[in-house]
Amino acid sequence: MARKRTSAERQVAETIVNSLLKTNSRRNKKSSGIFVLATLLLVIFGFLWTAISPRQDGIENNELDVTEEEKPAYANEGTFPEADDEDSDSVSETRFFVPDREQVTIERCVDGDTLIVLSSSGRRERVRLIGANTPETVKKNWPVEPFGPEASAYTKSRVEEAGNIATLVSDGNSYDRYNRRLAFVYLGDDNISLNEDLCRQGLAKAETKYSFSKEMKSRLEAAARAAEREGIGIYSLSR
């Protein structure tokens, strides 16, 4: 009788243990299913969020991976000077440290306010005359503007007279967003920059909203006012 009772008790115990194990197994399967379902929902939500969220990257904002240190002061002052569209020249697209003054050889005049130069170290760069904006002549899908050809011809003749030798003087930012080097250009032994000369001849507007010295801004503005008083160049159009 004792053995039968012991055996029966063992069977009851085994039955209870097996029942508990099956219950835990069902619970584990249920928990695993819930975990998989939750993970799947999170993945779907993340994909939908990425697809519908507005992009805030630098390309949409036209910053093109320019850091705050590299970003020109123009970025905080409105529009940038337009880049010309004649880009067949294999000029450098890298920004370099540039000295305050550097003698260069001018290879070609792109238009009235843009030059292709060879620097003293042999680099080929596109130079934009800072603060002087001549009428367009080579801008893609844009008509040739009045006095644009005259401005280009004037710059070309001045460069040739100087033997294609110029001194670039940095003032403010060294490059603009188009990787054009910004400078005041002095031809030969001239004490007046080509930038100021173009304004004085009525062949360029003085663009003084950008970042360069107050002294040079005053000189460009005075030159443009003198041309306007005389009604020459672009200022003759309104008379």
Task: State the catalytic residue, choosing from 177, 180, 181, 219.
Answer: 180
What percent of the residues of the chain are helix, what percent strand, and what percent coil, each to the nearest 5? 40, 15, 45
Given a contact cutoff of 8 angstroms between Cβ atoms, the answer to whether 119 and 205 are in contact is no
Give the largest Cα separation in the chain, rounded.
133
* Nearest residue to 226 via CA among 211, 204, 210: 204
Q: Which pair of tokens denotes residue 131?
A: 């603060």
Q: Which pair of tokens denotes residue 198?
A: 């173009």
Given a contact cutoff of 8 angstroms between Cβ atoms, the answer to whether 186 and 193 are in contact is yes
User: Cα–Cα distance between 205 and 221 in angstroms, integer?
Assistant: 9
Task: State the catalytic residue, choosing from 125, 136, 150, 228.
Answer: 136
Report the run of H or E that residue 186 belongs to, with start and end: strand 181-187
Catalytic residue list contains 180: yes
Catalytic residue list contains 123: no
Catalytic residue list contains 177: no
What one-character DSSP code corresponds to residue 76?
Answer: G
Contact residues for 185 (Cβ-Cβ < 8 A; gap 6+):
115, 127, 129, 166, 167, 168, 169, 193, 194, 195
The SS3 call for residue 220 is helix
Which residues are catalytic, by number? 128, 136, 180
